[in-house]
Structure 1
């Protein structure tokens, strides 16, 4: 099998409004669905970030139940030449960037947390090429 991409990924959150305010308000992702008491979904490039209340998602029968807990991780790829701009914009939002990494090919990434403590990363193109 040759998949094109990971189309969607999930995070499990405790407060949908706070999650919307962070991902849409501070990171600039477009909200594509918000169902109070259930979930908020965002567009991230050609992918979708699904943020669920875990207790609601766990109880559903369709689609199949899913849930998670703990410090989950996901990475956003910045457009070519925009890494420094994104770093400065995130810091200007008052978000604590607490780790910087330079990978074997010389590409860079930085790490910060969302309000639920999930570990988010922004990386330059080429990290996985």
Structure 2
């Protein structure tokens, strides 16, 4: 299918929400709420926890609970889930990267990689309790 044969529509302007998956939501809550300090917006035990990250919402789902879709007829969310680690990158300044490295290591989350990209942007990589690959990077990484 070519782009010319599709009806026109404007491009999205932002990512409203992003999802990661974790089988142990209590461990995820401790990590995202306590270690990362993200404000929790909603929780359904055994199903999901939602956090605010700036203007984006981070959804943490237990994939065993979401694979079949919503059981609420008013919320017709189709089934979804993922197997294996996902990836998410948080935008932080170079100064904040140093502070985050100290905080994560003090909380028992080792830094897997710490480097400078060819354009000069800094990044650190680490894992959440579910094994998801997380990154903190300067926003200029994508300039």
Q: Name the CA distance, whole Å, in 1 between partners of 2:118 and 2:90.
A: 19
Alignment of 1:119 with 2:130, yes or no, is no
Structure 1's consecutive aligned runs of 4 or more residues displaced over 4 angstroms after TM superposition are: none
> Which of residues 59, 71, 93 is equivalent to 2:85?
71
CA distances 1:32-63 after superposition (whole Å, capped 9, x unpaired): 11101211111111111101111211112421
TM-score, normalization by structure 1: 0.92
Alignment of 1:59 with 2:73, yes or no, is no
Q: Name the CA distance, whole Å, in 2 between partners of 1:127 and 1:73.
A: 16
Is the contact made by 1:111 and 1:121 (CA closer than 8 Å) also made in structure 2? yes
Question: Equivalences for 1:1-129 in 2 at 5 Å?
Answer: 1-61=10-70, 62-79=76-93, 81-129=95-143
CA RMSD of aligned residues (A): 1.4
**Structure 1: gaps spanning 5 or more residues:** none
Q: Name the CA distance, whole Å, in 1 between partners of 2:95 and 2:22.
A: 32
Which of 1 and 2 has greater Rg? 2
Aligned length, in residue pairs: 129
TM-score, normalization by structure 2: 0.84
Is the contact made by 1:8 and 1:50 (CA closer than 8 Å) also made in structure 2? yes
**Structure 2: gaps spanning 5 or more residues:** 1-9, 71-75
